[in-house]
Structure 1
Amino acid sequence: MKKYQKDDHLIYFGDALGVLHEKISDSSVDLIFVDPPYNIGKKFSNFKDRWPSDEDYAEWCYKWIDECIRVLKPCGTMYLMTSTQAMPYFDLYVRKKLTILSRIVWSYDSSGVQAKKYFGSMYEPLLHCVKNSKKYTFNHDDIKVEAKTGAKRKLIDYRGGVPKPYNTTKVPGNVWDFPRVRYRMDEYEEHPSQKPQSLLERIIRASSNEGDTVLDPFSGTFTAAAVAKSLGRKTISIESQEEYLKIGLRRVLEYEEYRGEVLRKPQKNTKIKNGRSKKEERHEEITEGLFNVNS
């Protein structure tokens, strides 16, 4: 277990459960975003996320969920992700301990081959949870989106005493359409399940304020911390794989070097041949295969 810090941004290199238990104080975090291994067989550097059974996976998750609840402030918020298969285990367990405000669907497109013997999954679920259902942060004005009925169709609302145009903006519902991170996107990092900045920006804007502390126990590409930092939040990140630790040191703490290695963004081969680069085609083939088989 090792700690790296710059200003208000802290990274722990170690096991999430151990760091949470030993290093994070009770009721100290305003917002927690959790994107753990999904128990679907993906390879994360030197770790493969496969447990002997769904029950074993759930029991492991319950341990760090309890730790997250412990460190969450009384008016704090937690967002939990997992696979569609495992989410029922999370939902049934968490609803006994927190108030689940929303069950969110992150919906995305797919350019690859979908399942042929069943309806392939095109989304990942999130739980939006709070400790106190009467007092929590939700900055609805900071996350409004276009209301298509009002903005595009220009309809008139006759339900009140005086007719008026429909609103042109609204708070998003619980189905969020954000594209997955693709190889050619500027935010791309070498990681098998990177979450898009747009997804994290909505969560952090909605459920925290400037100066608040945001915790990500399974940091991966450190997108949560990078976005939180850009929005003026403090961050605590935990990562167990050295390959991904280096991403956080570069993206969040602005390290230029780690143990003699120069830290750079992925050097991508974007040379186009027949419309697409071979490396891009191969990457998307692998990525789509992982999502389609395991989601």
Structure 2
Amino acid sequence: MSSLTHFRDNSHHIIHGDVLQSLSQVQDESIDLIFADPPYNIGKDFDGLVENWDEEEFLSWCYEWIDECYRVLKPNGTFYLMNSTENMPFLDIWCRKNFFIRSRIVWSYDSSGVQAKKFYGSMYEPILMLVKDKNNYTFNANDILIEAKTGAKRGLIDYRKNPPQPYNTLKVPGNVWEFSRVRFKMEEYENHPTQKPEALLERIIRASSNEGDTVLDPFSGSFTTCAVAKRLGRKSIGIEVNQEYVKMGIRRLELPSHYGEDELIKDKKRKTTNSSKKSRMQLDVENGESCII
């Protein structure tokens, strides 16, 4: 796409266009929090845009937009980066050149089908938590506390403290997060093959930004990041190349646009018809492996 289209109000901004071209329009050190969930290059079909890059070409492209994310991130900002288990080692090493890695997070989820028969099927996706300054970044620990399931739940006493007292009932989450994937019957479901759950984004946004901060998602997809940012009182910038997904963002953020109401209506379709799953299953069969994804 050679040109960019903008949809915005006073707090939220969608850029419809190529990610590198779009990022070039974002000011240096203007973003408080970035969440990036880019294509994984594993054959997914994003409504006609199919991932099928040469590996070196794909990684080179990733390095380019990651460097752009570094440029636009504030000195005390935080960058969360997701990708596949296959690609993350390469991205991890690249990010260490400029960022400090504060956490390597595992998003663990349930499976609705049989996994691979000749190896251990993937049941998680990795997330890097990256900062520019390891001593100065936002982390609102009290906003993301979860139940402590060990001593507190059993009413145990911590005798290491003076005087002894019960274990805390709440704690900051560790780096293994358990959130269910978005299912068809869930209210938040959108017609996007890799939609991330609102609960996951809510934890990230609550922890690493404050009300009034600006959150950037350079691969907005279903626009969950921007929608959650709006609900939590943050500003947002969402970049997306696919027109159908841009319409999702316009609807979810209630932005003015030239689209009619009938073009923005939410019409749920099951992800199980996604052709990328069929192609990957066929590839496994051709390789002599039995696998249902």
* TM-score (normalizing by structure 1): 0.90
1:69-80 mapped onto 2 (5 Å cutoff): 69-80=70-81
CA distance in 2, matches of 1:288, 1:208: 39
Residue of structure 2 in register with 1:104 after alignment: 105
Question: Residues 50-89 of structure 1: matches in 2 within 5 Å?
Answer: 50-52=52-54, 54-89=55-90
7, 17, 20: which is aligned to 1:4?
A: 7
Across the aligned residues of Structure 1 and Structure 2, the Cα RMSD in angstroms comes to 2.4
CA deviation string 1:132-191 (max 9, x = no partner): 111000000000000011342111111223221110000000000000000000000001
Q: Is the 8 A contact 1:9 1:253 kept in 2?
A: no
Partner Cα distance (2:220, 2:126) in 1: 18
Instruction: Verify the 8 A CA contact 2:146 2:170 in the aligned structure 1.
Output: yes
Shift of 1:265: 1.9
Correspondence 1:200-211 to 2 at 5 A = 200-211=201-212
Q: Which residue does the alignment assign to 1:139?
A: 140
Q: Amino acid of the residue matched to residue 35 of structure 1? A: D
CA shift, 1:248, in A, is 0.3
For the pair 1:38 / 2:40, whether they are aligned, the reply is yes
Q: Deviations over 1:187-215 (max 9, x none)?
A: 00001000000000000000000000000
8 Å Cα contact 1:46/1:241 also seen in 2:
no
| 1:15 is aligned to 2:18 | yes
- Normalising by structure 2, we get a TM-score of 0.90
| CA distance, structure 2, for counterparts of residue 290 and residue 160 of structure 1 | 55
Aligned position for 1:187 = 188
Closer, same or farther: CA 294–114 of 1 in aligned 2, 3 Å? closer
Amino acid at match of 1:131: K
Change in CA separation of 1:179 and 1:284 when aligned onto 2, cut-off 3 Å: farther
SS of 1:64's partner is helix
Name the aligned partner's letter for residue 168 of structure 2: N
- Seen in structure 2, the aligned counterparts of structure 1 residues 43 and 193 have a Cα distance that, compared at 3 Å, is same
Q: Distance in 2 between matches of 1:77 and 1:20?
A: 17
Q: 1:191 and 1:151 mapped to 2: Cα distance? A: 40
Q: Indicate the SS of the match to 1:258.
A: coil
Distance (Å, rounded) in 1 between the aligned partners of 2:51 and 2:292: 11
For structure 1, which segment, 237-246 or 259-268, has the greater mean C-alpha deviation from structure 2 after superposition? 259-268
Deviation at 1:57, TM superposition (A): 1.1
How many pairs are equivalent? Answer: 282
